Structure formats: C-alpha cells, structure tokens
Amino acid sequence: MSIKRIEELSEVEFDVLKEISNIGTGNAATAISTLLDGQIGIEVPIIRFLEFSELSEIIGGAENEVIGIMVTLSQDIDGMMMFVMDVKSARIIINHLLQHEDEEEQLECTEMVRSALSEFGNIVAGSYLSAIAKLTGLVCAPSVPALSHDMAGAVLSVPAIEFGKVSDKVLLIQSVFEYKNKKAEGFFILVPTLEAFNTIFEKLGL
C-alpha cells in the first residue's frame, strides 16, 4: 500500500530507511578516507524523523553559522538532499583537504574553499545514493552541488519550503567522523518526494 504522508511509515519501512542510512554512512567513511588519504573513524549514525522546526536547534540553533551543500535528485528517485556542518567541523575538513593548520573559528569561503567543500558534499551525497542503488537497483542522478554559507535557519529554509508541500517531517542522519583525533559532525537531510519513498518500498516488496 502506498503511503500518503511520512507519518504513515511502518516500523519495517523505517527500519529499511535506517539500513540505507547505515550503509550510506559506511560508504561515506570509505570515500572520505580515500579523499583525505587516511583512516576515518565513524560513530554509529543517529537516524530519526524530525519536524523541520526542530532541525535548526539540533544543528546548534537558528543563528548558528553553518555550511549547507545541497543537491537535487532525478530519474528513478526525485527530491533533494542536503549535508550540513557547523563552521568548526567545516574547518576541520578544509584543513585536511587543503593541508592547512588554520585553527581560526571563522571560515572564509574563498573559491578554493567552496570548491573543496562542494566536492566533499558531493562525495557524501553520492555515498548515500550508492546505498539506495545497492539495495533497490534504482537509478538516482544528483545535480551539481549548491553550497550556502549562512545561519542555520536561512540554510534550512530551502528544503523546508520544498518539503513542506509533502510533510512537516524530514529524515535526519546525524554522523560524526573522526580523523587524526579531531571530530567533524555532519547532518545529512534526505528530502525525497512521497513518490520516491513509495518507489523504494515497492522495489523492496514492502
């Protein structure tokens, strides 16, 4: 039976989404290890459905300065996905990507920094899409990443407006990556359409 609202997901269907998230997180750790030329540790991701009004508080508050990297999805699954990091975590990633040792809390989004973060976000998004493809055989093509550097409330307003047409809840995957004794926390927000959810579950025989 097709779901008409996110709130109608059964326990089995939610478990499927958790499994996809776990595989995606593992894929991301492997891909990031290759990118950073080193071993990445990763904590078990926290996966939950939240109301959009709760998201900014989870990410440190509506006025917390963050980096958001968003891609839109097409082909078998449509919707959007966003990877959000606070400035401290983004700085850890950038220091390793660009081989800097800058400990400043401010993040100057130069063209080089934006390019590096976009590539990082693209790899993370691709890791989760690979997890979906592996389990379902569905094809999903991501767009070129769009990066935004602003307060959390502003960055999250784009998916909130789009997903608000479908539901007031969103799937949030909270992950912590550790590299050279430093931890970077990222929040992966999956915003598929209801048709995409139904396509995934139908493909899995649910």
What does the pLDDT look like over 67-86, one tens digit per residue? Answer: 888 888 878 777 778 888 88
Residue ranges per domain, the chain?
Answer: 6-203
3-state secondary structure the chain: CCCCCHHHCCHHHHHHHHHHHHHHHHHHHHHHHHHHCCCCEECCCEEEEEEHHHHHHHCCCCCCEEEEEEEEEEECCCEEEEEEEEHHHHHHHHHHHCCCCCCCCCCCCCHHHHHHHHHHHHHHHHHHHHHHHHHHCCCEEECCCEEEEEEHHHHCHHHHHHHCCCCCEEEEEEEEEEECCEEEEEEEEEEECHHHHHHHHHHCCC
Share of the chain above pLDDT 90, in %: 0
Which of the pair, 10 or 173, is modelled with greater confidence?
Answer: 173
pTM of the full predicted structure? 0.78
What does the pLDDT look like over 150-178, one tens digit per residue? Answer: 888 888 887 777 666 656 667 788 877 77
Written out in words, the top-level CATH class of the domain with range 6-203 is alpha beta
